[in-house]
A and B are shown apart, each in its own frame.
Chain A
Amino acid sequence: MKVFTDIKDRTFVFELIEDNGGLKVLQEGKVLEHELIALGHNRYSLVVNGKSYYLQIIRDNGLYHIHVDGEYFPIRVEDERMRQLRELVGAAAGGSGTLLICAPIPGLVTRVNVQEGETISKGDSLLTLEAMKMENEIKAESDGQVKQIFVEAGAAVEKDQKLILIE
């Protein structure tokens, strides 16, 4: 069975073979001798072909968040079937022309810079969010028209709260 691991725009493909109840892992045809042991508090020890690693792994929102040696990777794991399924769904959804902009961080809306119905171009400032005493501009990622605004200046918003709908 093939399994895909995505780290942002990079993908590593592993081959898994059930081996007498155990699991043989191959990458590019080479066997990876492996042992993953939990140490508690989301901490793990992984030994691969004699090399020893210490990791912290937290599963959240369908992703594995991995910290190793001061580095951080958000990773998605899926087998071939799941991947095909997701790509099919993605292709179907890609046709619709609206984009919902949500708050990337919790904060205070200090200014809304657009109005409903306004035509905007990529890079335009849509609104300003203040958090931890710094202003963060939310900019348009593409050209379009402002269909709906869900917040007004002065509003406190949670992470992922709906802000603006772009058409």
Chain B
Amino acid sequence: MIKKVLIANRGEIALRIIRTCKEMGIASVAVYSEPDRKAPFVYHADEAFALNGKTSQESYLRSEKIIKIAKKCKADAIHPGYGFLAENADFAREVSKAGITFIGPPPEAIELMGNKTRARKSMIEAGVPVVPGTESAIKDINDAAGVAEKTGYPVLVKASAGGGGKGMRLVSDPADFRSAVEGAQREAGSAFGDSAVYIEKYVEEPRHIEFQILADAEGNVIHLGERECSIQRRHQKIIEESPSILLDENLRREMGEAAIRAASACGYRNAGTVEFLVDKHRKFYFLEMNTRLQVEHPVTELVTGLDLVREQILIASGQPMTRQSSIEQPWGHAFECRIYAEDPENNFAPSPGRIHHISPPDGPCIREDSGVTDGNEISLYYDPMISKLIVWDQDRMHAIRKMVLALSEYEIQGIHTTIPFLKKVFQHKRFIRGDFTTNFLNEETGLFNGQTSHEKVAALAALLLHQVQKSRKKLVSPNGQNTINWKLIHRKNMLDVR
């Protein structure tokens, strides 16, 4: 059994992994960059080592340094979290070479699924349906334009090494094709160090539905049901739920079996996610396989009762998984919201700064996976996601109400967040009906500037505070009548608490 785990990551996911380690009686080791010194994951870990440097390249992406620290502190396993080195096959290989267990899939599986062209070929062979498009990465832009023409617009331009929406562009008009490819290549280059891109047909009225997979060392592969992640902004998931309103038992079984075939085809081991697009005819297509723990894994945890990080550690230790069969029927309904340090009033511009005060919501079946606390600085160096809010309830409608309540109670001062925007989405008629596609946020532009119910109250509060501040000035300056206004002083005192 694994005794000490180094977490090669930061923020909420590092803290989330540390928690499971503690529950299992496993020692945890944090590594941290300069801006993260005060982050909760550093002081909650049993041991912590500085990586120095500020940017990802200088810190969390320095594989050789991380392995050196793991050896020095005698960690017998490394958990990569998501992002950074999580889907880097070379890193997984180097970790194993150093005699350390990589808590994740074999490097060959990462490599196969990380290469969209090879993944596609092997999915076709395994009988998993795929979306029509290019077979290989684009080298020449003119050839690429030809392929796009043949596939038929709209097309998606995607980074070969990509994931998380980075390095991805949707092109509807052939005139925009060239600049879209260039943009995607630049973004992919800066995010992944690999600027290769490829093209595929854009699926009509698509919904993003993915299956959670667990595979043990013996070759048993099970699925834990689906997550629907159709609510996306700039191809980045912002709300996830399980189960999906679109799936019935038959489609769930059919897609689950395809997901298991996909995982088996690449010799998968540990936790992984097979992503599908489902079109308006309820036809599903393999999109990609994420060979890591997903950001949205908590919704699966809440409807299955499993701790996916614990399962990951058990599998990596060669122990049996908690259950040996797939989950056909999820229990209740769960939602997750990703809370970003972005300003929805200002075109979702990044909103870095110091968190003066944060107080997450509380109550039955409300979970917050957060990586920040009072006094923390949100820097520009990393992803703007600061926390995830997750709720569970007996069915979808109750879970929606619970999420609205939880978002309303969430207090955070010092930075802008997407909370007000998320609340509007959860109150939107189409969202409540489950009538949406991955284009939902592009179609419902009203969500970005819609009116809300508390305007008048907010206006009154601003007015009252303004008057008090004005009268405070009056109090200190000589008063024409030379009288002391007790009521004003009383008011001032009431508003003077710090």
A residues with a Cβ closer than 8 A to B are 3, 5, 7-8, 10, 12, 14, 16, 20-23, 25, 27, 32, 34, 36-44, 46, 48, 53, 55-59, 64, 66-75, 77, 104-107, 110, 130-136
Contact = CB atoms under 8 A, between A and B. Distances in A.
- Top 3 nearest A-B pairs by Cβ distance? A21-B487, A70-B408, A64-B462
Given A21-B487, A135-B186, A68 B457 contact: yes
A79 to B, nearest CB: 9
B11 interface: no
Given A5-B462, A46-B457, A106-B352, A21 B488 contact: yes
Contacts of B469: 59
Given A56-B413, A69-B454, A131-B350, A14 B460 contact: yes
15 contacts: A14-B460, A40-B497, A41-B357, A44-B461, A48-B460, A53-B461, A55-B457, A55-B458, A64-B466, A68-B457, A70-B409, A106-B352, A107-B350, A132-B380, A133-B166
Most central of A40, A59, A72, A74 by chain B CB within 10 Å? A72
B496 interface: yes
Contacts of B187: 133-135
Given A21-B487, A40-B498, A14 B383 contact: no
B320 interface: no
Contacts of B420: 70-72
Interface string B407-451: 111110100100110010000000000000000000000000101
Contacts of A56: 411, 413
Contacts of B380: 106-107, 131-132
Interface of B: 166, 183, 186-187, 190-191, 234, 344-347, 349-352, 356-357, 380, 382-384, 404, 407-411, 413, 416, 419-420, 423, 449, 451-469, 485-488, 494-498
Max count, chain B CB within 10 A of own CB: residue among A40, A46, A77:
A77
Given A74-B345, A132-B350, A3 B463 contact: yes
Given A131-B380, A132-B383, A36 B464 contact: yes
B368 to A, nearest CB: 14
Given A67-B411, A71-B420, A107-B380, A7 B455 contact: yes
Nearest to B423: A70
Contacts of B419: 70, 72
Contacts of A46: 457, 460-461, 464
Given A46-B457, A55-B458, A38 B352 contact: no
A162 B403 CA distance: 41
Contact of A75 (B183, B459, B494, B496): B459
Given A5-B460, A70-B423, 13 more contacts: A21-B485, A40-B498, A42-B356, A46-B457, A64-B461, A66-B462, A70-B407, A70-B419, A70-B420, A72-B345, A75-B459, A107-B380, A131-B349
A12 B410 contact: no
A133 B190 CA distance: 8
A69 B411 CA distance: 9
Given A41-B357, A66-B458, A75-B459, A34 B464 contact: yes
A135 B423 contact: no
Nearest to B406: A70
Contact of A134 (B166, B356, B357): B166
Contacts of B190: 110, 130, 133
Contact of A37 (B350, B356, B486, B495): B495
B382 A132 contact: yes
Contacts of B234: 134
